[in-house]
Structure 1
Amino acid sequence: MSLTLQNISIAYGSKKILSDITLDAIKPGTLVALLGKNGAGKSTLIKGLAGLKSYQGEASLDGVELANMTQHQRLKSIGYVPQTLPQGSSLLAYEVVKSVVTLQGESTFKEQTIEDVFERLKISHLALWPMHKLSGGQRQMISLAQAIVRKPKLYLLDEPTSALDLNWQMQVLKAIREEVSSQNAIAILISHDINLALRYSDQVVLLNQGQILAEGPPKESLTVDHLAQAYNVNARIESCSKGHPIILIDNAL
């Protein structure tokens, strides 16, 4: 299994947002950090792959063109976590997560699977809470649980930690990292916290003005020049005591 993108272009009306996005085959077990400033096209690319925005070009998962997938195939293969939080309804958090399994039509699904996901995300105490009583961060955790419970081949995660404090950000990225590794899945993660994303990612795709500026392992793709072009900042790249790259911003250009 692999994910391949060839010449992906997306436009809103006459305005082209993404142009000729091409990536070498992304292998199973890979977590990709999709980086770039606001307006670079990150969310647009995720929405295109999730089937929410039409695109030109080719995008295939395990040899199947994403644009040609049926709704059932998409539910089984893709776990999409949008920026928008789940609505604060009267449904219990457990019911909201179970609903995606019902839509998927899994007749042999075990309730224990949902409980296991809640436990891994450390949100078991929220299972019987109605959604309208949960905070934004807690609802974001439920949205992630909806994706993980289906064990998709491809995770598309649009800032899944934006409403979370630092502790929960770490918990979420650790959980995503473990799911990608244990399920041999692929994840594309958008994050504005570059240092946190780099800690858990295998590969970086850096967008600038709707095109790929750099791609590859974090230490190779994120250079001082690339950061200046993509974010308009003067930056330094150092390493912590554990060898993780750390981006230090000196000033804006």
Structure 2
Amino acid sequence: MVSLQLDGVAAGYGRAPVLSDISTPPLQGGQLVALLGPNAAGKSTLFRRIFGLLRGPGTVRIDGARTDRPIAYMPQDNGARPVLSVYESILLARMQGGRLTVQPQDHAEVERVLALLDIGHLRGRHVGDLSGGQRQMIGAAQALVQNPQILLMDEPTSALDLSRQIGLLGLLRRLARDQGLLIIVALHDIGHALRFTDACMVIRDGALAACGPTATVVTPALLKQVFKVEARIEPCSKGHPQLILD
């Protein structure tokens, strides 16, 4: 099964450092992992460094990969061309890597992802005509259609309504567990992290503040230290952890 481990990873832009000495234990396939931290903590930079869009000191180690391109990355702005249809934009993402000939399996994978995310009704729409939430779902489709073993998703729920947020995070958790994927999602909703994720990484001021099982890492003390809020974590009537702000 695939795993990802960071050892002394750092990155920045020009002479401005953003991340320093990020080291983690192996993050294993089969898990949905939250990447938490305040605004400008370095979450997007960490994703770009892991994906190879940025260079810097340290090592990003991937073990157990079945292909030479095991990672897909969904940035906050998916960069889809507004003149393309939804179907075309997802098919184009499927073809990343330089292939010029579309095979029947490529069309089948686009159809699979459209059905998986329940966005088949958007297939003929131009990307530029979509709402922010719809474009975010297209970004998720563009990442999933590549069939990655490691999926990095930068705030995939920020523009979605509550029902879509819950549906997407539930789907990602099922995909991770059923297919052995390692999915890392940057989130601002701590409640969603508590409810859906198996583990989390917490970034503060470009450094790793904590990494481990979500229930162990996300504590009132950490919330006060990193997010500057007074909060409690208590089980609801069904036993799920809930964040309560004091």
Give the TM-score normalised by the residue count of structure 2: 0.91
Superposed displacement of residue 210, structure 1: 1.4
CA–CA separation in structure 1 for the residues paired with 2:151 and 2:173: 11
Listed one character per residue, the Cα deviations across residues 6-27 of structure 1 (whole Å, up to 9, x for unaligned) are 0111123333221211111111
Equivalent residue runs for 1:242-253 within 5 Å: 242-250=238-246
Where in structure 2 are there 5+ consecutive unaligned residues?
A: none
Q: 1:154 aligned to 146, 150, 154, which one?
A: 150
**Does the alignment pair 1:235 with 2:231?**
yes
* Equivalent in the alignment of 1:78: 71
* Equivalent in the alignment of 1:193: 189
Q: 1:100 aligned to 93, 104, 107, which one?
A: 93
Q: Which secondary structure does the structure 2 equivalent of 1:11 belong to?
A: strand
* Equivalent in the alignment of 1:212: 208
* Contact residue 199 and residue 214 of structure 2 kept, 8 A: yes
Give the TM-score normalised by the residue count of structure 1: 0.89
CA–CA separation in structure 2 for the residues paired with 1:43 and 1:36: 10
Q: 1:63 to 1:8 in 2, by over 3 A?
A: farther
Q: 1:220 to 1:43 in 2, by over 3 A?
A: same
Superposed displacement of residue 200, structure 1: 1.3
Q: Which secondary structure does the structure 2 equivalent of 1:228 belong to?
A: helix
Superposed displacement of residue 221, structure 1: 0.7
Listed one character per residue, the Cα deviations across residues 218-240 of structure 1 (whole Å, up to 9, x for unaligned) are 12111211111101111111112
**Once superposed, what is the RMSD of the aligned Cα atoms?**
1.8
* Contact residue 161 and residue 169 of structure 1 kept, 8 A: yes
CA–CA separation in structure 2 for the residues paired with 1:39 and 1:103: 29
Listed one character per residue, the Cα deviations across residues 186-220 of structure 1 (whole Å, up to 9, x for unaligned) are 11110111111221111011111211212211121
Superposed displacement of residue 46, structure 1: 0.8
One-letter amino acid of the structure 2 residue matched with residue 30 of structure 1: Q
Q: Count residues with an aligned counterpart.
A: 241
* Contact residue 88 and residue 134 of structure 1 kept, 8 A: no
Where in structure 1 are there 5+ consecutive unaligned residues?
A: 65-71
Equivalent residue runs for 1:131-146 within 5 Å: 131-146=127-142
* Contact residue 86 and residue 140 of structure 1 kept, 8 A: no
Q: Which secondary structure does the structure 2 equivalent of 1:177 belong to?
A: helix
CA–CA separation in structure 1 for the residues paired with 2:13 and 2:40: 13
Q: Which secondary structure does the structure 2 equivalent of 1:173 belong to?
A: helix
Q: Which secondary structure does the structure 2 equivalent of 1:207 belong to?
A: strand
* Equivalent in the alignment of 1:118: 114
Superposed displacement of residue 108, structure 1: 6.3
* Equivalent in the alignment of 2:21: 20
* Equivalent in the alignment of 2:160: 164
* Equivalent in the alignment of 1:57: 58
The percent identity for this pair of structures is 40
